[in-house]
Chain A
Amino acid sequence: MAEDAKGAGDAFKDAVFAALVTLALCTPIIMFRTESDQNSGALELIFRPVTVLVFMALAFVGRLVVASAGARPARAKAAPSVGAPTGFRAFVGQVIGPLGLVFLLVYPALLVWWLGPSGSLKWIDSYGIQILIYVMLGWGLNIVVGLAGLLDLGYVAFYAVGAYAYTLLATTYGLSFWICLPIAGLLAALWGMILGFPVLRLRGDYLAIVTLAFGEIIRTVLINWSAFSGGSAGISSIPKITFFGLRFADADDGFDTYFGLDYSPIHGKLFLYYVILALALLTNFVTLRLRRLPIGRAWEALREDEIACRSLGINTTTTKLTAFALGAFFAGLAGSFFAVRQGFVSPESFTFNESATILAIVVLGGMGSQIGVALAAVALVGGFEILRELDWLKAIMANWFGVPDFDPTQYRGLLFGLAMVVMMVVRPRGFVSTRSPSIYLTRRTAVSGDLVKEGHG
């Protein structure tokens, strides 16, 4: 709100109003915390007035800042730019991709050199591999949401199909990971087509809800059909990954013995790291190549204006279906990898929250931008894990804010949700908001995201 005539008094009134609204919002939910009584189990209320006052003060100050920022003469809004990016941004744009790739390739080696084999285990496993799974899922969903403009809220269902496909094939028929991987991908793609075919003629938000429904149906079936999927207990002792038939185990026929190395669990982890890196890069490579083909252009055209597409003779159903199936295919591959890495699958891992997380990664990365999605995955998944490691942060939270066992991952969903809202309000095109056109006449120019009219079809 930028009413110029607004005086300081009005801003103050606004701020008081904001503080009062905050008081109303906080009244029961923050002011009283319900705790079960140790003995009787009945709920007791714990009064927390200070927290409410802190929130009210924050709202008051925040509103004042916003109001004073609005009162200042508004900066002329930069016109949407068309043209080759220049200077520093162009440099960053060109360099960050290759640089990131090199970093990812040497990341485990650096860690092993720095922390030693056992010290780097955690960093490779819960940072490297974990983040890369999300990068891959983000890139896969990016095909569906970012390129084709179809909001898929049930993406995690295909992830589950992949995971269960590998698990069941491996435990029932004893097939190896490398045979199951493409099968899992194809099965997920098949499911993508089966589910996609009836729903793809729906308008955007209905499509989103139906995919959500399908995702939940698949999860509920996995929970209840115990004979097939092991029910909510899941399936454990899934065969581990092998290196051309060599197990990563401390055994005579293991990888380490075969190559005459001393046994170390790091070898298996390193192998897993490079496998998921290769899978993620495959996703990226396929996406980048497809964007240059007619099908990729059709996706993006479809995202911008469906009716125009139809009148130009693009078969919208086939176009959407390929995007849907391809996205599902990569989710299947990722799911299969998830199962082999975890050694255990259960429906718990495939809740709607997981879909929302992947969607948040894509949205924050600026739907359509590959680098943006990767950076968002690193920030959202890795950022919180890093916060958990920081002892001084824990000490501050315990001593100053009275939060004894501070666990930042608890706040992850909170911030994910908030970030999605703020992103839509402030920068609906994401962090990386320029589009590089896939076809151009003489020179490549970057188009500001403001110029593309996304999803008005």
Chain B
Amino acid sequence: MDNLIQQLINGLTLGSIYGLIAIGYTMVFGIIGMVNFAHGDVFMMSAFIALITFLFLTKTMGLGYLPFVLVVVLIASMTLTSVWNWTIERLAYRPLRGSFRLAPLISAIGMSTFLSNFVQVAQGPRNKPIAPMFAEIVQFHFGEHTISMQYRQIVIMAVTVVLLVVFWYLVQRTNLGRAQRACEQDRKMAALIGVDVDRTISITFIIGAALAAVAGSMYVLQYGVVSFSDGFLPGVKAFTAAVLGGIGSLPGAVLGGLMIGLIETLWQMIPTPGVPEYKDVAAFSILAITLIFMPSGLLGRPEIEKV
């Protein structure tokens, strides 16, 4: 029982990372109808940026106060990753609007290959470990049950919740969010009533990247190790989360992320020998099954193709 709750917490931690990445997929899909295949690698890039910024602050600058360092790392990673994604959209996706249908996806696959190889060349192929942070354990007592959480899991969940609230406010309550939702519904009509579509799409990519950067920083915090190939699996799983939640739906992305995180951690608890190794197969199967039988996901709208 205690172990189960423990694993639920681990699953939620992992799930919030997936959810944050999934928002980037789902927003881009909602607004330009494209699977941004490179988003997983943008996440990996952000994790590297966070890692290097952290090393720079603690080693080169000699700062010791961790919460401050964490805030600076988060801001740096969000800003710089946004610049990356803005540039990617500008150079690799924007010229393709109006090209044939698979062109943006192929371009995104190329971009994904480029990014992971770029990081490999720039930073070397090895894993990059750092010493664990916030590893102190907090114990909660509920009657006879004791749940111990690492301090960093609390940090991750708190940061995720706060940023999701900020993001929610941005999309629901500001002009920017309204413009974005308008573009999502009908890009041509939005342009006619004076919404700058190109700018809105750019901002969508920037927001997606910023949230991926939060996920990347949290990933470094939680696991303490990154490698250039770390973009692929989390990327596909986050995309699975977006699809499961209903692609185009923001609450769906978060819900899907949490579900995938939970399924993955609970799957590893299955006692039958040999089964836990198939956790990736479970995630991929969910992806295939959802797309085949329930393409609009849990919270999505069904898609009607107009001729």
Partner-B contacts on A (CB < 8 A): 21, 24-25, 27-30, 32-36, 41-45, 149, 151, 153, 198-199, 202-206, 208-210, 212-214, 216-217, 220-221, 223-224, 307, 352-353, 356, 359-360, 363, 410-414, 416-421, 423-425, 428, 453-457
Bound Cα distance from A421 to B92, whole angstroms: 6
Q: How far does the alpha carbon of A454 sit from the alpha carbon of B99 in the complex, in Å? A: 9
A217 surroundings in chain B (CB, below 8 A):
281, 284-285, 288
| Chain A CB within 8 A of B161 CB | no
Binds A, one of B12-20, B63-71, B107-115, B251-259: B107-115
Question: Do residues A25 and B48 form an inter-chain contact, with CB atoms below 8 A?
Answer: no
* Chain B residues with CB below 8 A from A209, complex form: 35, 239, 243, 287, 291
Contact of A413 among B76, B116, B129, B278 (CB under 8 A): B116
Q: Which of B55, B79, B99, B119 contacts A29 (CB 8 A)?
A: B119
Say if the beta carbon of B298 comes within 8 Å of chain A.
Answer: no
15 A–B contacts from the bound complex (CB under 8 Å): A28-B48, A28-B52, A29-B45, A30-B122, A43-B55, A205-B34, A209-B35, A209-B243, A214-B288, A412-B117, A413-B113, A414-B117, A417-B114, A419-B110, A420-B110
Q: Which of B102, B110, B307 contacts A417 (CB 8 A)?
A: B110
Query: 13 other contacts beyond A28-B53, A424-B92, with CB at 8 A cut-off?
Result: A27-B49, A29-B49, A34-B124, A34-B128, A41-B129, A205-B105, A220-B280, A307-B307, A410-B120, A413-B117, A414-B113, A417-B115, A421-B92
Contact of A213 among B55, B121, B128, B236 (CB under 8 A): B236
When the two chains form their complex, are residues B102 and A35 in contact, meaning their CB atoms are under 8 A apart?
no
Q: When the two chains form their complex, are residues B232 and A352 in contact, meaning their CB atoms are under 8 A apart?
A: yes
Most B CB contacts (10 A, CB to CB) among A21, A149, A212 go to A212
Is the CB–CB distance between A220 and B281 below 8 Å?
yes
Is B102 a contact of A205 with CB atoms below 8 Å?
A: yes
Q: Is the CB–CB distance between B109 and A359 below 8 Å?
A: yes
List the A side residues contacting B239 at CB < 8 Å.
Answer: 209
Q: Which chain A residue shows the least CB distance to B116?
A: A413
Interface string of B96-140 (1 = CB under 8 A from A): 100111111111011111111111111110101111000000000
A contact patch SS: helix
Q: Is B59 an interface residue (CB 8 A)?
A: yes
CB distance from A227 to the nearest CB of B (A): 9
**B100 and A453 form a contact (CB under 8 A):** yes
Cβ-defined contact, B100 with A224, below 8 A? no
What number of A-B contacts does a CB cutoff of 8 Å give?
Answer: 195
* Complex contact A206–B295 (CB within 8 A): yes
Complex formed: what's the CA distance from A72 to B4 in Å?
A: 68
- Is B292 an interface residue when CB atoms closer than 8 A count as contact? yes
- Which B residues are in CB contact (< 8 Å) with A359? 106, 109
Asked whether, in the complex, the Cβ of A210 is within 8 Å of the Cβ of B128, the reply is no
- B101 contacts A456, C-beta separation under 8 Å: yes
User: Are B122 and A353 touching (Cβ within 8 A)?
Assistant: no
CA distance A294 to B91 in the complex (A): 40
Nearest-neighbor residue (CB-CB) of A305 within chain B: B307
Tell me the complex Cα distance, A153–B235, Å.
Answer: 15
Residues of B within 8 A of A21 (CB): 83, 87
Q: How many B residues are at the interface, by size bracket?
A: 35 or more
User: Across the interface, do B60 and A220 meet the contact criterion of CB distance under 8 Å?
Assistant: no
Using Cβ atoms and an 8 Å threshold, which residues of chain A touch B267? none
Q: How far is the CB of A148 from chain B (nearest CB, A)?
A: 12
Interface residues of B (CB under 8 A from A): 34-35, 45, 48-49, 51-53, 55-56, 59-60, 76, 79-80, 83-84, 87, 91-92, 95-96, 99-107, 109-124, 126, 128-131, 232, 236, 239, 243, 274, 277-278, 280-281, 284-285, 287-288, 291-292, 295, 305, 307
**CA–CA, A210 to B284, complex, Å?**
8
Q: Is the interface of B mostly helix, strand, loop or mixed?
A: helix
Decide if B55 touches A45 in the complex (CB within 8 Å): yes
Known: A27-B80, A214-B288, A217-B284. A455 touches B55 (CB 8 A): no
What is the bound-complex CA distance between A166 and B192, given in angstroms?
Answer: 60
CB-defined contacts of B232 to chain A, threshold 8 Å: 352
Greatest chain B CB density within 10 A among A356, A359, A420 is at: A420
Which of the residues A203, A210, A410 comes within 8 Å of B288, measured between beta carbons?
A210
Question: Nearest residue in B to A23 (C-beta to C-beta)?
Answer: B83
B78 to chain A, nearest CB (A): 12
Task: Find out whether the CB atom of B52 lies under 8 angstroms from the CB atom of A425.
Answer: no
CB proximity of A297 to chain B, nearest CB, Å: 19
Pairwise interchain contact A45-B59, C-beta atoms closer than 8 A: yes
Is A43 within 8 A of B284, CB to CB?
A: no
Contacts of A27 in B (CB 8 A): 49, 80
Of all chain B residues, the one with the shortest Cβ separation from A308 is: B307
A80 to chain B, nearest CB (A): 14
Point out the residues of chain B lying under 8 angstroms from A353, CB to CB. 113
Whether A356 touches B109, Cβ cut-off 8 Å, given contacts A25-B87, A29-B49, A414-B118, is yes
A149 to B102, CA, bound (A): 9
Residues in chain A near residue B59, CB distance under 8 A: 44-45
Query: Chain B residue with minimal CB distance to A457?
Result: B101
Which residue of the partner chain, among B48, B103, B115, B123, contacts A424 with CB atoms under 8 Å? B103
Pair B87/A420 contact, Cβ less than 8 Å: no
A151 engages B102 (CB within 8 Å):
yes
Chain A residue nearest to B51 (CB atoms) is A34
Q: Closest Cβ of chain B: how far from A324's Cβ, in Å?
A: 15
Residues of A near B106 (CB, < 8 A) are: 151, 359, 363, 420, 424
Residues of B within 8 A of A45 (CB): 52, 55-56, 59-60
Give me the 5 closest cross-chain CB pairs, A-B, nearest first.
Answer: A420-B110, A417-B114, A417-B113, A413-B117, A28-B52
B-side contacts of A413, CB under 8 Å: 113-114, 116-117, 120
Residue pair B113, A216 in contact (C-beta under 8 Å): no
Give Cα distance in the complex from A205 to B95, angstroms: 19
- Closest A residue to B115 using CB positions: A417
Specify which of B56, B96, B107, B110 lies most central, judged by the most chain A CB atoms within 10 Å of its CB.
Answer: B110
Contact in complex: A220, B278 (CB < 8 Å) = yes
**Are B100 and A456 in touch, CB under 8 angstroms?**
yes
Cβ-closest chain A residue relative to B240:
A213
Distance in Å: Cβ of A153 to nearest Cβ of chain B: 7
